[in-house]
Amino acid sequence: MRSRMLFVPCLLGALLLSAPLAFSADLESGKSLYREKCRDCHGSRGQQRALGKSKMLNRLETDSIIAKLREVQEAGNPGTPADVAKSDLGEEEIRSLGIFIQSLKRR
């Protein structure tokens, strides 16, 4: 019984300590992906409207960014660099990009 009582707090502590590490890894992965696939059109801080049409990324919430990336991945964005650049992204990469782009708001 005593070992069960210790297990739960230890497990919760481990989960809480690992969360910042996972966030940090997502942030770094997103930063690398952003530089490779997004920066040229959206600017280094997400401040540009790509092709004069898109929204400024640094004004969007993470959920909106992720939803748009999924939409472009599924349906494409014909005639734009986004169609090619985002079509091969996996779910983890999309999440990492969303987290990184959201961080641009705070810089």
Per domain, the residue ranges of the chain are: 2-106
The crossing angle, in degrees rounded to 10, of helices 91-103 and 2-37 is: 80
Pseudo-torsion of CA 61, 78, 40, 54, nearest 10°? -40
- The pLDDT tens digits for 8-50 are 555 445 444 444 445 567 889 999 999 998 899 899 999 999 8
CATH number of the domain at 2-106, please? 1.10.760.10
Among 36, 67, 43, which residue's Cα sits nearest to residue 57?
Answer: 43
- Predicted confidence at residue 43, as pLDDT, reads 93
- Express as a percent the part of the chain with pLDDT over 90: 31
Whole-angstrom distance, CA of residue 28 vs CA of residue 89: 16
